[in-house]
Amino acid sequence: MGGVKSPEHLENLGNIFKKFHSKGDGFSPEARAKITQGIVNFNIKTKGKKVVFTNIETQEILTFISMREAALKMNISRNTINKHVLSKEPWGKYIISFII
């Protein structure tokens, strides 16, 4: 497909692209939202780092499926979680670790 294109060829390609983009992909906004949410959930469950907070005093264990979920639920930043996992320092009354 290299080389110089004639004006007719370029116009033909432009028409093909216009047709392709005007058709859309056939998904309704609701279907698109479901597909997107499914992909997000799949990625979180399969690619997320599972985080465990262990209470030093009561030995209660809190498990989260991702650093993002842990950060939101525990009101802590992902950077702070990572720092305490690597340094093994307690965060308040919790020891934080990853499940591999």
Q: What residue segments make up the domains of the chain, in order of their start?
A: 7-47, 48-100
Q: Strand runs (DSSP E) across the chain, as ranges?
A: 50-55, 61-64, 94-99
Residues forming a β-bridge with 50: 99
Does the structure show a pLDDT above 70 at 24? no
Q: Single out the residue of 59, 94, 100 nearest to residue 80, CA to CA.
A: 94
Q: In this predicted structure, what is the pLDDT of residue 17?
A: 75
Against a cut of 0.75, is the pTM above it?
no
Q: In this predicted structure, what is the pLDDT of residue 8?
A: 87
